[in-house]
Amino acid sequence: MDDLQVIAAALAKPEPDREAVAEGRHRLQNAVRGGGTARSRRRFAWPAIGLSLTAAAAVTVVAVGTGTPSAPAPNSPPAAMSARQVLLAAADTAERTPEGRGAYWYVRKVEKGGPRSAPVLAERWTDRRGRAWRRDLKTEGKMYKVLGRPRLSLGSLEVTYEQVRRLPGEPDALRDWISAAVARSDIRTSRGGLTAADRGEFTLTSLISMVSSAPVTPRARAAAFRALAAWPGVTDLGRVPGGQGLRIPLAGGEARVVVDPATGLLRDSNFSVMPDGGLVWMNDGGTVTVTARWTDALPE
């Protein structure tokens, strides 16, 4: 098992209960004061994986005495996690996960404004020619064919199905391809043409679209995760329900996402990238959950 698989497996494990954490803290305090029954003078540490950041900091132990440090257990998880490690572990999982087969790419999006809000469901089916059907609040729960010319999008970038399937499988090449495509596109902001910062922002939202809702190959999805791992300013927020929380720098607000390294999926976010490239931000406590897969079923 390589390091990234170890990380993914470790993040999938449940957190210890409060009694175990309290016992560990008590043993640590006795050892540091020289009290209790602590006789060993070896270096040891409680693993930080599975604990909150506060608990991990409280029970991580440095050298006690001057004895010889004990060797780490084989395949033991790393003592600290970073956003980069989380995203690289997700990339490794995504690359190994079969994408499935089907005639339609099905995207299911559930928006929830807060703990007491009713969920709002939006569904979209897109065939390999780019033709699309939708069912959502605006269609009153009925299936409607999307009018206009067939299209797919990576965030704000309009692409063909053939382009989506041929996206590079290397992170640097993928980022460069998207950036160049954005520069050549007719994407505009309210200020007019795109600045270098605008191109970077649209490249970033395209990468997010690739790991959440676009019908890309497993290799390209893994490359998008790796490109995000190298993106400046992405930080870790610790364990949250569904995976690992990350903060991503976007000009419109503080973007938060939940990535599950064990499944290679982006679980939740506090914003949504619209088909026209616009960002819709949720209220405090609101979430957007997106799932996507191939299917042969097109509801009537």
Question: DSSP characters for 39-96?
Answer: ---S------TTS-HHHHHHH-----SSSPPPPPPTTPPPS---HHHHHHHHHHHHHH
What gap in Å lies between CA 205 and CA 153, rounded to an integer?
11
State which of 44, 59, 74 marks the end of a domain.
59
Assess whether pLDDT exceeds 60 at residue 55: no
Question: Looking at the domain assignment, is residue 75 inside a domain?
Answer: no
Q: Which domain holds residue 191?
A: 83-295
129 vs 178: CA distance, rounded Å: 21
Residues 127, 163, single domain; the answer is: yes
186 & 270 share domain: yes
Lowest-confidence range among 9-13, 40-44, 69-73, 227-231?
A: 40-44
Q: In whole angstroms, what is the distance from residue 85 CA to residue 191 CA?
A: 37
Residues 168-190: pLDDT tens digits? Answer: 999 999 999 999 999 898 877 77
Burial string for 68-86 (b: 16+ CB within 10 Å, else e) reads: eeeeeeeeebeeebebbbb
The answer to whether 154 and 224 have CB atoms below 8 angstroms apart is no
Same-domain check for residues 100 and 186: yes
Q: Tell whether pTM > 0.75.
A: no
Query: Residue 126's CB: how many other CB atoms inside 10 A?
Result: 21
Tell me, yes or no, whether 119 and 266 share the same domain: yes
CA 156, CA 158: separation in Å to the nearest integer? 6
**Whether the predicted pLDDT of 67 surpasses 70:** no
What does the pLDDT look like over 195-209, one tens digit per residue? 888 888 889 999 999
Provide the pLDDT confidence category of residue 37 given band limits of 50, 70 and 90: very low
Q: 173 and 263 share a domain? A: yes
Q: How confident is the model at residue 273, as a pLDDT? A: 76
Domain for residue 70, yes or no? no
Residue 78 lies in a domain: no
Same domain membership, residue 104 and residue 242: yes
Whole-number Å distance between alpha carbons of 185 and 192: 13
Q: Does residue 66 sit within a domain?
A: no
- 283/157 same-domain check: yes
Considering the domain architecture, whether residues 94 and 232 belong to the same structural domain is answered as yes
In a domain, 72, yes or no: no
Q: Are residues 38 and 140 in the same domain?
A: no
- Which of the two residues, 83 and 7, has the higher pLDDT score? 83
- Distance (Å, whole) CA 254 – CA 274: 17
pLDDT score of 196: 86
Residue 175 lies in a domain: yes
Whether residue 31 is found in the same domain as residue 145: no
**Residue 67 resides in a domain:** no
Tell whether 241 is covered by a domain: yes
Do 130 and 173 fall within a single domain?
yes
**25, 44, 59 — which closes off a domain?**
59
- Number of structural domains the chain divides into: 2
Asked if 10 and 90 sit in the same domain, the reply is no
Q: Report the C-alpha gap between 28 and 160 in whole angstroms.
A: 59
